[in-house]
Amino acid sequence: MSKQPSLFVAHGAPLLAVQQDSYTAFLEKYADALPERPAAIVSITAHWDVPGQLISRRELNGTYHDFGGFPEPLYKLRYDAPGDIGLSDRIAELLASAGVASSFDDSRGLDHGTWVPLLRMFPNADIPVVALSVHSRGTPEHQYRIGRALEPLRNDNILIVASGGLVHNFAYLEWDRGMGVEPQGVPWAMEFDEWIRERVEGWRLGELMAYDRLAPHASAAVPPRAREHFVPLFYAMGAADSTRQAERKYQGYQVGSLSLNFYEFY
C-alpha cells in the first residue's frame, strides 16, 4: 500500500472547473502521476470556516455551489463523490487522541474549495471524500496540530488535500486582466509567495507562523479578518510533520494577484 503525500492546493476561481490552462493541465497530470490511486481523500477546505472542528459524515456527498455571478454551466456541474463513514469516525478518533474536540456534520455538500480541484484531478468522482472545516481564527500552532493528528492516514493510501490560496484578497484583484492563468502576477504578490516558498521548503515553521508580522505585503496578501484561504497551509504541513519534506510544484496567478500555489509534502 502506497503512502500518499499531503497537499496544499490553490482552488482559484470556480471557473477552473471548466477552463483549460496550464494549472488545470498540471492538476490532471499530477493526479495521474501519483504512485497509486488513493483509497480515499480528506479535504480540508477554506470554504468551511467555523469555530471548532467539523467532519463530514455521509454515505454520499452532495455538491454545494457556494458562489455567485458565474456562468450558468458552472451551477450544473456535480461532484457527488461517495463519503466514508468509517474514515469520518477514524478522523474523530485521531483528533481526540491529539486533544482536539470535533463534531460530525451529515448535511453539508462538498463546497467548491473541495470539488473544483478534485474535479480536475479525479473527474469520475468515484473516490470517497471526507471534508474537514478550518478555523481561521485559531492559532497556526493549533492548525498544524490538527494536520499532524491526520498524518497516520497517509500510510493507508489516503490523500490529504488542503485547499485554499496563499494570496487571496478581492480588494486587490485586477479584473480587467481576465480569469486566464498567467505565470507571473503583480510584483508584491510574487514577493509574498516567494517569501512563503523559501520558508515552506526550508520548513522554517517559526517564521511561517509569524508570517503576518514578518512576510512582505502580508496584510495585502492575507487580509487579517479573512485568513481562511491561507491557513490550510498549516494543516497540510502538519500532516507531514514526521518527514518535513516540501516542494512547490506549481505557481501561477489569476487576475493579477490571486495566486495558484500547489505544494507537495512527502
pLDDT score at 81: 98
Alpha-carbon distance of 9 to 27, in angstroms, equals 9
Instruction: State pTM to two decimals.
Output: 0.97
When pLDDT is averaged across residues 107-125 and rounded to a whole number, the result is: 98
Task: Tell me the CA distances in angstroms from 115 to 78, 118, 123, 219, one per residue in order.
Answer: 8, 5, 9, 28
pLDDT score at 185: 97
Q: Is the pLDDT of residue 66 over 90?
A: yes
Q: How far apart are the first and last CA of the chain?
A: 15
Alpha-carbon distance of 213 to 162, in angstroms, equals 23
Q: Is the dihedral of CA 31, 59, 162, 167 positive or negative?
A: positive
Alpha-carbon distance of 111 to 228, in angstroms, equals 14
Q: Is the pLDDT of residue 161 over 80?
A: yes
Show the cell assigned to 127. 473516490
Spacing of C-alpha 195 from chain mean position: 19
What topology does CATH give the domain 6-185+224-265?
Protocatechuate 4,5-dioxygenase; Chain B (3.40.830)
pLDDT score at 178: 86
Which residues 6+ apart lie within 8 Å of 204 measured at CB?
A: 198
Tracing cell 480587467 back to the chain, one arrives at 176
Alpha-carbon distance of 11 to 45, in angstroms, equals 10
Q: Which amino acid is at 48?
A: W
User: pLDDT tens-digit profile of 237-255?
Assistant: 999 999 999 999 999 999 9
Residues of the chain above pLDDT 90, percent: 98
Report the chain's mean pLDDT, rounded to a whole number: 97
pLDDT band at 2 (very low <50, low <70, confident <90, very high): confident
pLDDT score at 145: 98
If DSSP codes are grouped into helix, strand and coil, which group holds residue 96?
helix
Is residue 231 classed exposed, middle or buried when 0-12, 13-18 and 19+ CB atoms within 10 A define those classes?
Answer: buried
Which residues 6+ apart lie within 8 Å of 194 measured at CB?
A: none
Q: Give residue limits of the domains in the chain.
A: 6-185+224-265
Show the cell assigned to 215. 512576510
Alpha-carbon distance of 247 to 249, in angstroms, equals 6
Alpha-carbon distance of 168 to 220, in angstroms, equals 8
Q: Is the pLDDT of residue 5 over 80?
A: yes
Tracing cell 504512485 back to the chain, one arrives at 35
Report how many helices (DSSP H) and strands (DSSP E) the chain contains, helices first: 9, 8
Q: Which amino acid is at 137?
A: R
pLDDT band at 36 (very low <50, low <70, confident <90, very high): very high
